[in-house]
Amino acid sequence: MLHSLGQIYPDLDIASHIIGEPITVSWESDPNFMGAFKNNLPGHYRYQRRLFGHFMQEALPERQRGIFLAGDDVSFTAGWAEGAVTTALNAVWGTVAHLGGESSPGNPGPGDRWSELAPITLD
């Protein structure tokens, strides 16, 4: 990777900034690994609802607000581009709400309709 980055950024000495031995973390080492796209069902992973709905932060303590995640691993159906896009839109809505903004009344965002469209809570 350092060689490739050196080709792209020849005037930047990235290697001099490495202070420890690089490690690789792979989802393939997860004991419940289910393939490249996980082949999971919506809500299959026990923390998915919490991850997917984290952009709704009004119930969180103030010190835990203001960080918004997006990507296929935060999605309710992890591993797919649709979920990555959905969570990006959720994160944008959460950021706007966090900064005091709001959706246009005629075009509600995901947080405006969360109570009616959120994934159900499973026991």
Instruction: Supply angle C-alpha 60, 70, 14, rounded to 5.
Output: 115
Write down the pLDDT at residue 11. Answer: 92
Mean pLDDT for 25-51 is: 69
Each residue's pLDDT tens digit, 107-122: 999 999 999 988 877 7
First to last CA, the chain: 44
Q: Is the pLDDT of residue 38 over 60?
A: no
Q: Is the pLDDT of residue 89 over 90?
A: yes
DSSP assignment of 49-115 equals HHHHTTT--TTS-GGG-S----STTTSSSTTSHHHHHHHHHHHHHHHHHHTT----TTS--TTTTHH
96 in a structural domain: yes
7 in a structural domain: no
* Spatial contact of 111 and 97, defined as CB atoms under 8 Å apart: yes
Write down the pLDDT at residue 37. Answer: 59
Q: How far is CA 69 from the centre of its chain?
A: 4
- pLDDT top residue among 52 and 97: 97
Q: Domains in the chain: how many in total?
A: 1
Give the pTM.
0.63
20 in a structural domain: no
Please give the C-alpha separations between residue 90 and each of 24, 113, 118, in angstroms, as whole numbers. Answer: 29, 11, 12
Query: Quick one: pLDDT band at residue 36, thresholds 50, 70, 90?
Result: low
32 in a structural domain: no
CB atoms within 10 A of CB 35: 10
2 in a structural domain: no
101 in a structural domain: yes
Write down the pLDDT at residue 42. Answer: 63
